[in-house]
Amino acid sequence: MNAGESDQNLEAALAVLRRRAPWILLCFIVATGAAFGFSKLQTKKYTSTASLVFSNTNLAGTVAGLSAASASSPQSLQDTNVELIQIGDMAAKTANQLGHGLTPQSVTNALSISPQGDTSVVNVSATSASPQLAFQIANTYSTIFVDEQQNAGHQYYLSALATLNRQLAKLSPRARSGAQGLALQDRAQSLATLAELPSGTVQTAAAASIPTAPSSPRVARNAVLGAVLGLLLGLGIAFLLERVDQRIREPKDLEAIYGLPLLGVVPTSNAFSRASRRDGATRALPPRESEAFHFIRAHLRYFKVDRNLRTLLVASAASGDGKTTVARNLSIAAAQMGSLVLLVEADLRNPTLAQQFGLDAGPGLADVLIGAASLSSATQIVDIDARSGEASQGRPLAVLVAGATRPPNPGELLESHAMERVLAQAIAAHDLIIIDTAPLTAVSDTFPLLRKVDGVIIVGRLGYDRRDAARQLHQTLAAGGSPLLGVIANAFKVRRNASYGYDYGNTSTNGRMFD
């Protein structure tokens, strides 16, 4: 993967995070708050720990001449020590000694016995809602265990001493004064000494103390863990929603779905929204949006190298994509540059241009097609420079509205030879004819016009159009042999601190920028 692809992937991931930021933030806040609240509601528990150290060398037994146990691995000895502390009736003895309504089971539940790393030290921890009780359980349990182990060692030596004494009693006086007898007497003397001393393989390394802070719940840690889990959950939901969301988000996605070059990007803003309303044709566009349509008009000139583009059809997949706005402002941009432009409203079912420009609703295209009016009499003129109060630099815009009466058969009218004659007359009198049509996926009225024009422009609204509908439309248009030119991305949200002109405004047909 090269650096360019990495940058694109990073930019795509950042775009997903920007779009799904509310979900990520919501999961982060909810998970953090839930972890914090749950931790605060939990009962505080205190833990006290006593440490016991085991001596596995059996030095005393060696001194006494007793056989040493076979060597075991450190891990085996460690497991044996832990198991040794847990067996027996120390829990019952601890409960009886402390009282407080404790039972052997409650003592067992409060205890946690674990080795301390790879050493011979074992920790005896007790957890309770009372710091004093946790301290008492840990200390009492470990003390009872140490005492029992020392008592067991004492009994062991006494038993060994009794055995030696019986062996000595069986010896004759002569044998007793011999080498074997003397050895047995030395061992007996050592065992008698050991039996009088504190003995055992375990001692208290550190007594338990009264805890001053609760061991659980750990509110800060739980809140941090909740925050991390919430963030991960939010990221997962964000990318899952992005995967199942069928809406087209980026201009490059629109370009890829239709397999057509990106002719231009129309940014969205509050000023542009006001200028794009039904009565907005009398308003001047903001400079940035106006420049976008001039760029699209200039971009279309590159297609004139191989073909003569006199008639352009502006179409979209669905209603609300902004194709009428694009057709209207593209016509104005071309007229401002000195071209004789005729804007034809071929959406005979839902006409809006008359209201937008403040023109008479009729006669219009429908009247011309049925022979009730001529093209010249139905065409109305709009002084485009009067919209902004500027001095006249271009030519007026000619507009042919749909007509006041909505015909019952719009598809048949647009497919008729009369429509071909109207286009021929329009071409003879104008440099450029731009046709605004009905949505392609809503009705079939527009399809007869697709082969009557020199080029078709598809308008897609970002964040609104669905990928599946766009793919279906592209397949239909490609199968019908329509002269597709490119796509226009409408309603592009310019990112803060991003250069609109160099992000998408100067994109060429092959992805390079024109100077």
Per-residue pLDDT of the chain (515 residues; tens, 9 = 90+): 566 556 667 777 887 788 788 999 999 999 999 999 998 888 889 999 999 998 765 545 555 555 544 446 778 888 888 888 888 888 999 999 998 889 999 999 999 999 988 888 999 999 999 999 999 999 999 999 988 888 877 777 777 778 877 877 778 887 777 777 777 777 777 777 766 666 667 888 899 999 998 888 888 899 999 999 999 999 999 888 877 777 888 888 888 888 889 999 988 754 445 545 545 455 567 777 788 888 888 888 777 656 678 999 998 888 888 899 999 999 998 998 888 999 999 999 989 999 989 899 989 999 999 999 999 999 999 987 644 444 446 789 999 999 988 898 898 999 999 999 999 999 999 999 999 998 888 788 888 888 899 999 999 888 878 888 888 888 888 877 888 899 999 988 765 444 444 344 444 333 332 22
- DSSP three-state, residue 259: coil
What is the pairing mode between strands 484-492 and 262-267? parallel
Task: Give residue 147's pLDDT.
Answer: 85
Distance CA 69, CA 67 (A): 7
Task: Give residue 514's pLDDT.
Answer: 29
Give the largest Cα separation in the chain, rounded: 153
- Whether residue 48 contacts residue 134, with contact meaning beta carbons closer than 8 Å, is answered with yes
- Whether residue 31 contacts residue 222, with contact meaning beta carbons closer than 8 Å, is answered with no
From the DSSP assignment, how many helices (H) and strands (E) are in the chain? 21, 12
- Whether residue 405 contacts residue 396, with contact meaning beta carbons closer than 8 Å, is answered with no
Q: Domain 249-505, what architecture?
A: 3-Layer(aba) Sandwich (3.40)
Distance CA 422, CA 374 (A): 9
Contacts of 55 (CB under 8 A, 6+ apart): 120, 201, 202, 203
Topology adopted by domain 44-215: Bacterial polysaccharide co-polymerase-like (3.30.1890)
Global confidence as pTM? 0.59
Please give the DSSP secondary-structure letter assigned to residue 459: E
- The token pair at 485 is 């030119």
